[in-house]
Chains A and B, each alone.
Chain A
Amino acid sequence: MAAKGEPLINSERCKGCGLCIANCPKNILEMSKEFNSDGVTFPTLNDEETCTACTFCATMCPENAIQIRRF
């Protein structure tokens, strides 16, 4: 199945709360192995084919670090 969209994750705004990961219905977000300049891990997309652009991750993000682009 082709992806319907993708989250654009601004890792520098992220504080690593993980609410996006917990609320992703497809479980395709995971914490990064790297750190941003605050020393915080941030979400990354582990499956680019499955995103439905549902916006759940962006809706839960308190930092506005995620925007959604629909293809």
Chain B
Amino acid sequence: MSKMTYAFPQSLSETRTHYCAGCGHGIVHKLIAQVLDELNIREKTLLVAPVGCSVLAYKYLNVDGLEAAHGRAPAVATGLKRVQKDKIVLSYQGDGDLLAIGAGETIHAANRGEDITVIFLNNAIYGMTGGQMAPTTMEGQKTLTSPQGRDIADVGSAMRACELIDTLEAPYYIERCSVHDVKNVNRTKNAIKRAIKYQVEGRGYSFVEILSMCPTNWGLDPVKSAKWIEEDMVPYYPLKKFRDKGEEA
């Protein structure tokens, strides 16, 4: 008898995404949908969509939610969670949103230990606006606004979000993962599941950073983009669990 061992998640809309071929957003959306299915919490999940390529995330995940102004997703998520404590609130953000215009909101929501889950997709570039330098752009990486490569003497070096948030007292769970190969996609799913489960249990702020491909703006094909993450990004952005108070307890 045959059975489906990898089926289309119920929490994911059948709408085709607007993402470019090989973009990591599609993989991460799918993982979130799988986790919502497995925890059976789709009906009580609220997604705060950011500004950036994933601005239309609410179209692809079959959950309720709000669209936040650029960078304000953690602040909007804070409000949602404080008035609807029984809901599961996810803030889905890219690097420009989370670390540039929204750096203040990000740090303070984490510092307050808001009972929300932030899913941070780091592709080292501004995708939606056409490939400008982001706070996470690697040293020497060429973008539209750093045509000679990022010059750290001029604009500083790439910011590491997990390490920043790990300096704060309140966050409950912090992990960095990647979606460049099968093993890491599965690890990412486990991290998302753990983060959301902690929120279901009311433990507090959880943060999952995911390194992801942006083939179009990197000027590489999808397979080479995955390789670039492995060879260039991972040494600078180590993949590890920074904090898990659930495990320490």
A-to-B contact residues, CB < 8 Å: 5, 13, 15-19, 22-23, 40, 53, 55-56, 58-64, 66-71
Contact = CB atoms under 8 A, between A and B. Distances in A.
B43 interface: no
Main secondary structure of the interface of B (DSSP, over half): mixed
Given A19-B222, A22-B226, A67-B8, A62 B19 contact: yes
Interface in B150-201: 181-182, 185-186
A64 B19 contact: no
Given A22-B226, A67-B7, A71-B2, A56 B22 contact: no
Interface stretch (B23-31, B98-106, B230-238, B241-249): B23-31
Contacts of A56: 182
B182 A69 contact: no
A55 B22 contact: no
B222 A66 contact: no
Contact of A62 (B4, B8, B9, B26): B26
Contact of B20 (A15, A53, A69): A15
Interface in B193-232: 215, 221-223, 226
